[in-house]
Structure 1
């Protein structure tokens, strides 16, 4: 019986359609793209079902590590960290996995609980679980240890291997860690001051781990000895503020505390500091430090107010005008001729009016003194003439 006629264009369209289906199946099933080729004649009609069936078949045998991170990262020396792992059967066939290689792990790695044996059958999409612990050796040590697990396909007995490489590094501190620096080593000492006064202390936070840390003001909590919020010691400033700042390893953050007691006494309490780790590892905890503080307040001694000394207003004193004393000169008596009466008229030194005024005497008194001098001079002259006459007789 003759076959029905098919138009060549229809054959080409059918061939392209089958090629497209084959290409999609290859991408989904991981098959070879070359197998998607189909003839462009009517023979493709008969081959299409076979091609589609072949390319839509999933991988029959495959395994992969689906859970857990074999790189333990940085851990503090002497500490032990345990990780959980799962192996997933991603193929279609049932498989078994031999866990014997896990028991060969050497220090610092140790296999913990293993949830399967070599006889455990794992169907499609089922998992096998186990734990591995890493105990960090001396600081600065880096350890790498591979483990090769063998899986067996129960359908045909073929095998595949899965290599897991465990890595661990040790450091002196926790990965997320900061060191607190104060004025007194491991505590904050405010010393002693009078009640009503205030003083400050600065605290430094040095990031000595390997993970960046973020701080903000809300991460600093100050409590008294009873665990209540402290009213005498408060946060007065910081380098990170209320919004917060991230500090990388090797950097330092700071904040200040103010001690301002209102009454005398001894005060103590605790400063709680939280640093938030900034990493993609959800298992890394935040860093927390607690620092004690102490401070003493003494009774404030009031300072006496000095009484001001009244200042007397100086009185003005007039400066006395210096005076000069004028010494009047006595008149000079004249000499008369023998036998005759001598002239008794004498001359006296004149003192100018301004000179008399400079003596400070009253002008009338000055005239009186002058007249007296003249009289005395005349008397002296008369007395002299009388003595001469007496001696002649």
Structure 2
């Protein structure tokens, strides 16, 4: 049986391609609500998606068609409920349904038994009378609170839910211009050969100028996470982001506490539990002390200069606490900045209102950082993903002063 949350994640992607702006934030909210509410029928799943993914009434018709396209015949809810062994969280009216039919655009129940009639999803009056929506909205509100909560303040169950959502976040790679060009009517460079070929049909007169544009290719992404004791609650969540990046973006993944460990080979392989067990097995210094500078110097020496960091977007996740001389960090970041295209530093401590980068390690690194974000919560991880996506050739590099 396919995982319901995984299948639900595909709905947001198809909606986005169909013209509905299903942002990563809305997709994460939808996936969180699916996990929270555990819908018992396609009707219930329909309303969860409509409340969380649709922002305008004019989008409802497209949403209905996409929903049917994604879910019709894919999920057997009777089987899903038997396997999950969870009670249906919504009204018990669905208990008498022997086999719920897939909701169609013109035939969905509004959740009110007294009405006894079908309602069109686009009807605002029927929508307001739905008895299911208050429960859905309440669950969404709880999820919203969780999205803004720091990972350090979450319970283990909440961290497990957040980790599952992070693993399903859509990752969009940064782009870089290739050396090769392709014919493009909106290009900014004259395609002389194509122009001459076209002019043959007009007696050699180049009446129409053909243009070309550089092709784009994905830019390499490198993630380096601090797994020392001070970063423990954040590191476990970022392991899921690393796994997703390795699988979706072919990224490179490293962790460090007192020494650097490369995870790329096994974090993206097999089932998640097996991959994370392998990570723990190969990271004996997990939750230990922190030697950021020496770990970054090892990365530059053993991997960065050999091509891993060259022209890449490098993401470093650390609070900047350093037990060694911060001069090591300054040396490593100086060398790394000359190799990498863009450096993103994720520091959960930045989320504090009165935060100032006074820690010696952080103040030594900051002059070489292009983008500085907190990444302390589920919502803040969106800033990390956005920073990765925006680190393209058009990015204006502006080093931040300490």
TM-score bracket, normalised by the shorter chain, equals under 0.3
User: Which structure has the highest strand share of the two?
Assistant: 1
Higher RCO (C-alpha under 8 Å, 6+ residues apart): 2
User: Which structure has the highest helix share of the two?
Assistant: 2
Q: TM-score, normalised by structure 1?
A: 0.21
